[in-house]
Amino acid sequence: MSDHPEHTQRVERPEDATATTSAPPPARKAGGERGRGGPEPETIPFFGTTWLARDGGYPARRAAVAAGSLTTAVAACFVLRFAYEGLEIAKVGSFVGLLLVVMFSVCSAIAFRRTWDGFTRRPADPAREESLRSVKAIGFMGALIAYFLRSLAEAPGEGLRRKEYETALAQYERRRTARAGNPAARTKGRKPKRG
């Protein structure tokens, strides 16, 4: 057995096998090719990379996301109504009921705003977004309504990812053409090294 790394044998453990089989496949490129270098489009939940060329059932996925988010929001309204009626039956007082309504309204408004802003730009402070996770969970109806409204125009987050992908692609093309250009033109402006 040689000391070279390519000749060493690796003993697989059961936990290694599950880790390697559950790894997600690499994202599709614009032309459907893999492994040719360059930036890859970011996936969007429920859409994958179909948003790039708007193929692979993209319109049907948008309709399903819109219908699913609206249906879930309506179902959540009924659940909250039953919870409110349960508080009335328990006779906890009108102050607790009012507090519940105000809490869900404020949290839903914050969740809607944060979700909607997340479709157009990356958060400036990820730690703050993480701290608002519980507020967004309470106001999940606002997030669902934001998903519904955005799905009417595009895949939620498509505009942001498209802009980032096109910028990364343009930068990659500039670097590639600079590397493949005339080497004499690149060294023309440089000062000669002193020996």
Does an H or E element contain 147, and which?
helix 140-151
What's the average model confidence in pLDDT over 135-156? 93
Q: What is the mean pLDDT of the chain?
A: 79
Question: Residue 6's pLDDT is what?
Answer: 46
What's the average model confidence in pLDDT over 118-139? 88
- What whole-number percentage of the chain has pLDDT above 90? 41
CA pseudo-torsion sign 23, 29, 34, 40 = negative
- What whole-number percentage of the chain has pLDDT above 70? 73
What's the average model confidence in pLDDT over 33-51? 80
What's the whole-model pTM score? 0.68
Question: Residue 18's pLDDT is what?
Answer: 41
Question: Residue 84's pLDDT is what?
Answer: 85
- Distance in angstroms (rounded) separating the CA atoms of residues 114 and 149: 14
| Residue 52 one-letter amino acid | L
Least confident of 13-22, 56-65, 133-142: 13-22
| Burial readout 91-113 (b: 16 or more C-beta within 10 A, e: otherwise) | eeeeeeeeeeeeebeebbebbbe
Would you say 120 and 89 are in contact if contact means Cβ atoms under 8 Å apart? Answer: no
CA dist 148 → 45, 53, 66, 155 (Å): 14, 21, 5, 10
What's the average model confidence in pLDDT over 107-132? 90
3-state secondary structure of 48: strand
Question: Residue 38's pLDDT is what?
Answer: 81
Tell me which residue has tokens 């595009």. Answer: 154
CA dist 171 → 38, 137, 149, 164, 167 (Å): 10, 38, 32, 11, 6
